[in-house]
Amino acid sequence: MSKKIIKIFLNKFPFLKKIAISIFSFFGFLRPFFINRRDVFSNNSRPDSKNKKKSVVSEITAIIKTFESPESLDRLIRSIRKFYPDLEILVADDSRYPQGRKDVAYYIMPFDSGLSAGRNLLLSQVNTPYFLLLDDDYVFDNDTKLEVFLEIIKKGFDIVGGEWKNDISYHGILVKDKDVLYQKREHRGFFQEHELYDIVHNFFLGRTETVYRVGWDNNLKIVEHTDFFLRAKEVLKITYTNDVKIMHKRDKRNINYKIYRDRTVKYSSLFIKKHGIKKVIGFDGG
């Protein structure tokens, strides 16, 4: 049976398509076969609106990868609804026993599919020109101003990073010198009066079409952050603003979360081998 026939069949039965996407994403077949990028609206395809919140809702989709954290996820979604009641939210959950929700688009994945596979799945389903990348332990407040993100990204950027209110600042450049990778608190100059960076927090507004071309490495279930930005910095314009902030609440997690999250050494080794480096010197010099 040809791929074309299979795709036609799945498009006629959306519920089967969702199941197929979840299953095949786990085995790495997701991007080339089952995912067809939906038509993404260009900047000029939406009518101008005086209501900035209405513009946010029409042009941005929030994506959240979650794992063994239903309480944190619920808190985040409730905080989003408080400030942006109509914002579209997509969730990918690879917990052992996912609880599911009916108030968002909820994708249940095979257990321990990983952060990267979940984000790739979610991004493939975004229908808006921009997406908001969120972790499940974030909380919106009065300083989470998506309108500011939107204003900046439309100046020609692919990623606009924001700030964690109650945690370390994390934006700078990545410099590879032989087999050592340095993270430096510097910028690479200016574009449209905004500083250019190589890396920002995993709290950013992204341009759907261009970020999709970079994607996340499914082999890295965690420790995906620096790998993504090492590849993204070569092709994307990245900036940062401290005018958009979010709360980062590191809650106590259940035992399943801790077991599967504490695999940094394993996946750091994969990352280091992939990029031909032996050491990473972080922003703090360590």
**Residue 283 has what pLDDT?**
87
Q: Is residue 260 part of a domain?
A: yes
User: 251-275: buried (b, 16+ CB within 10 Å) or exposed (e) per residue?
Assistant: eebeebbeebeeeeeebeeebbeee
Q: Is residue 123 part of a domain?
A: yes
Q: Is residue 214 part of a domain?
A: yes
Nearest to 96 by CA among 133, 137, 57, 68: 68
Q: Is residue 41 part of a domain?
A: no
Phi and psi at residue 88, in whole multiples of 5°? -70, 135
Q: What's the CA gap between 56 and 61, in Å, rounded?
A: 9
Q: Is residue 33 part of a domain?
A: no
Q: Read off the pLDDT band of 285 (50, 70, 90).
A: confident
Q: What's the CA gap between 263 and 15, in Å, rounded?
A: 34
Q: How does DSSP classify residue 5?
A: H
64-79 pLDDT, tens digit each? 999 999 999 999 999 9
User: Given the DSSP bridges, would you call strands 190-191 and 194-195 parallel, antiparallel or unpaired?
Assistant: antiparallel
Which one is predicted more confidently, 284 or 262? 284
92-123 pLDDT, tens digit each? 999 999 999 999 999 999 999 999 999 999 99
Q: Is residue 43 part of a domain?
A: no
Q: Is residue 142 part of a domain?
A: yes
Q: Which structural domain, as residue segments, surrounds residue 139?
A: 3-27+49-281
Say what angle helices 115-124 and 14-26 make with each other, to 10 degrees.
150
Residue 17 has pLDDT above 90, yes or no: no
Q: Read off the pLDDT band of 46 (50, 70, 90).
A: very low
Q: What's the CA gap between 36 and 1, in Å, rounded?
A: 18
Nearest to 84 by CA among 282, 221, 244: 244
How much is the average pLDDT of 251-271?
77
Q: Is residue 147 part of a domain?
A: yes
- Read off the CATH number of the domain in which 78 is found: 3.90.550.60
Least confident among 53-57, 170-174, 197-201: 53-57
Q: Are 69 and 83 contacting, i.e. CB atoms less than 8 angstroms apart?
A: no
Phi and psi at residue 204, in whole multiples of 5°? -150, 160
**Residue 252 has what pLDDT?**
66
Phi and psi at residue 176, in whole multiples of 5°? -100, 120
Q: Structural domain tally of the chain?
A: 1
